[in-house]
Structure 1
């Protein structure tokens, strides 16, 4: 049995989209769509304690989880690692157990360590649910869900004929991994990945994908382009020659986007490096769904919190 489910098959943690059954994934997307259309139960989590336990910086993810929990009537506690006892040496597990002892049932956790959220979930008490808000380079399941919801709204529920291109630093991207898990589960027919060789993973992440370094060729006829943030620290590691070279080879401009299908849409998980991986006229243009992704993030996170804690 997956650690995400209890012995009765009920979802108790959301740690990854890898291996999540198609029925469970679709149920979350359907509920998120219903919430986006106005069917939220504003008292579904009334009196339930939810803590956003972030050991890494965040803007969109943290705030949308807070917004989601508040809209469901939860009591929200916001944990700030910079001003907490972690600066005195307290472990993440001790932090979790102490807050859990205060009667908090739900934890939204972001951590720099691969597998850190799953380890905390394994140590959590009965009735406590953990939701992975991004761990290392492993997974960011709610980002994957909100990306799929955004694609489904734009392109329909049948992913079989969908041609999707993911561009950028896939090697270090937990977003890319969650998107790829979800796209495969939903049966996307044509998944393309484009990045410099230095930014491609060497594990089995890209199984079943068409991989290339030729961005212009990869764009031909695609229905959706999912851009990834260039993590600037990769320049210090020598994985990217310069920002200018990266933009020349892998930056999405309006001229480049013209190679895609006429109705192609553009997504980006944020934060964006404008003028590096994406130009402003594309990010703010008519094909951009970037702000819709942000809006859908609240609905998706409400659906997941409701499923885990409702």
Structure 2
């Protein structure tokens, strides 16, 4: 029990399961305040280390922008030039950073739940920037912020998550939290890629999904996690499971399109829909900065 309290007090964010719905709303309100122009900087210098062991553009750079907007000192980590290349463990790397003064670590790692054995051993908080096929809590929060900006709340919204659910940490985080917040979560895509999601959420064909959805949340095919065994050509996938122009025309008047990106244009979504009137894809990216500002402020025990 003492260990659990100690871990909680550090304000880690490794999974959306860490957050109550009330805590989610506090973070969304704080992020919205930053979006509206609020500023905040810590009273004393704070250091944050970004450890990215997988490629990233949006998550990595939005964390960096968030950190700079908050006046935090960045400790830049490069796995290719660090002692990881000499065999240093992830724990020893983080423990080193903690020892020299890091106040927070942001980590993206290919291993599912890489943080499980780290949490009891550290005295600084971990923010999970994505673990394997597991969770991506800050992506979920920025998606929630984008939805809340459009609809005000989540009660009874029909949200359809479409595509490569098997390999998507975004799908796991969003499905869990959206359900807690009162949305109706549906899934769509190749049935062989549902990976147990059908046990918890209703399945729709893409044509049914387009007509029902208030929010169409498209997912990228994660080719790097399929080991070269995808069973669809790009054109076949787009025709069967993609958001085509014809399907977009069947969508409700006020429904929106989300995508965590990077986008495979012409595969999961038609090229001309990426920046169409109902797309909020680039707004999601903008909101990512504000959400990560709120999460970092929380990690520093300021909210």
Q: Hey, what's the Cα distance between the residues in 1 that align with 2:175 and 2:89? A: 32
1:232 to 216, 223, 240: 223
Match in the other structure for 2:50:
52
> 2:159 matched to 1:160?
no
1:93 offset after TM fit, Å? Answer: 1.0
Task: Determine the C-alpha separation between the residues in 1 that align with 2:274 and 2:292.
Answer: 24
Quote the residue 1:294 is aligned against.
Answer: 285
Change (3 A) 1:10 1:91: closer
Structure 2 length-normalised TM: 0.93
Using a 3 Å threshold, how does the CA distance of structure 1 residues 167 and 52 change in structure 2: closer, same or farther?
same
- Equivalent residue number for residue 146 of structure 1: 142
Gaps of 5+ in 1: none
1:176 is aligned to 171
Call closer, same or farther: CA 1:136–1:233 in 2, change over 3 Å: closer
Aligned counterparts, 1:60-139, within 5 A: 60-125=58-123, 128-139=124-135
Which deviates more from structure 2 when the two are superposed, residues 163-172 or residues 237-246?
237-246
Report the count of equivalent residues.
301
Report the Cα distance in structure 2 between the residues aligned to 1:220 and 1:264, rounded to whole angstroms.
10
- Cα-to-partner distance string for 1:219-255 (whole Å, 9 max, x where unaligned): 2131110000111246654342322211111111221
Q: CA RMSD in A?
A: 2.0
Q: Is the 8 A contact 2:159 2:186 kept in 1?
A: yes
Change beyond 3 A, Cα 1:4–1:72: farther
Partner of 2:194: 200
> Could you tell me how far 1:143 is from its partner in structure 2?
0.2
1:243 correspondence with 2:234: yes
The answer (yes or no) to whether the contact 1:46–1:74 under 8 Å persists in 2 is: no
The secondary structure found in structure 1 opposite 2:42 is coil
Which structure 1 residue ranges, 4+ long, deviate > 6 Å from structure 2?
1-4
Task: Report how far residue 10 of structure 1 moved.
Answer: 4.4
Residue pair 1:235, 1:241 contacting (<8 A) in 2 also: no
2 CA distance for matches of 1:172 and 1:235? Answer: 8
> Contact between 1:46 and 1:75, CA under 8 Å: does it hold in 2?
no
Q: Tell me, yes or no, if the aligned pair for 1:170 and 1:200 is still in contact at 8 Å.
A: yes
- Cα distance per residue 1:141-160 (max 9 Å; x no partner): 00000000000001112x12
User: In structure 2, how many angstroms separate the alpha carbons of the residues matched to 1:55 and 1:89?
Assistant: 14
* C-alpha distance 170-270 of structure 1, shift in aligned 2 (>3 A): same
Displacement after TM superposition at 1:266 (Å): 0.5
* TM-score, normalised with respect to structure 1: 0.91
SS of corresponding position for 1:82 = coil
Seen in structure 2, the aligned counterparts of structure 1 residues 142 and 93 have a Cα distance that, compared at 3 Å, is same
Q: Bigger CA drift: 141-150 or 236-245?
A: 236-245
Rate the CA distance shift 1:224–1:292 in 2: closer, same or farther, 3 A.
same
Aligned partner of residue 81 in structure 1, secondary structure: coil
- Show structure 2 runs of 5+ residues with no match: none
For the residue of structure 1 that corresponds to 2:13, the secondary structure is: coil
